[in-house]
Amino acid sequence: MLPKVVLATAISALFVGGVGCGEESGVSAGATVTAYVEAPLCAGAKRELGTQDGRAGEVRVRAVCLASVDSGGRTELAKVGANARRATEDSATVAYLEPPTTPSFSRPIVEAANIAVIRTRSGKAAMDRLLGAIRDADDSSSLRDQVRKTLN
């Protein structure tokens, strides 16, 4: 039983350390980070990311489009929470992009995980701000912390 626990711990440490968003070290060149994007902003964010070749300097950026939280003109709070939790469970997450039209019930969940929240009507503008913050980040500390300080 003990070898399985040791192996699982070692694999977890390698995964978290390999992403480049940990507290102890900065992001390494070629690392991939993630931005979670609510549905209304997804198309614009992905287009902007494509114009930048999916990169911010030496860091690859991946946009994950989230399920729509709207159903018949009503916001489904369970989906808002599920989307926010999904972003916080990904150790590579550096930002959460949401439109100002969605009630910001996700903000406390996301910010508790030290993830930047960008609220804007334009997915393009949000992604542009995020890419700039990643490029400007100092690699001497956590990229997630640096991006949050820059954007919030």
Tens-digit pLDDT profile for residues 117-146 = 999 999 999 999 999 999 998 665 688 999
Q: Whole-angstrom Cα distance, residue 8 to residue 4?
A: 6
Integer Cα distance of 145 and 133 in angstroms = 11
In a domain, 9, yes or no: no
Do strands 59-65 and 55-56 pair parallel, antiparallel, or not at all (unpaired)? Answer: antiparallel
Examine residue 58 and state whether it is found in any structural domain, yes or no.
yes
> How many whole angstroms separate alpha carbon 9 and alpha carbon 86?
22
- The DSSP result for 84-122, as a single string, is HHHHHT-TTEEEEEE-TTS--TTHHHHHHTT-EEEE-S-
For the chain, percent of residues with pLDDT exceeding 70: 78
Enclosing domain of residue 144? 33-151
Asked if the structure places residue 13 within a domain, the reply is: no
- Three-class DSSP category at 113: coil
- Confidence (pLDDT) at 29: 65
Question: What mean pLDDT is predicted for residues 90-106?
Answer: 90
| Domains contained in the chain, number | 1
Residue 2 lies in a domain: no
Q: Are 40 and 69 in contact (CB under 8 A)?
A: no
Q: What is the pLDDT of residue 20?
A: 41
Element (H, E) at 59: strand 59-65
Average pLDDT on 7-20 reads 36
Domain assignment of residue 97, yes or no: yes
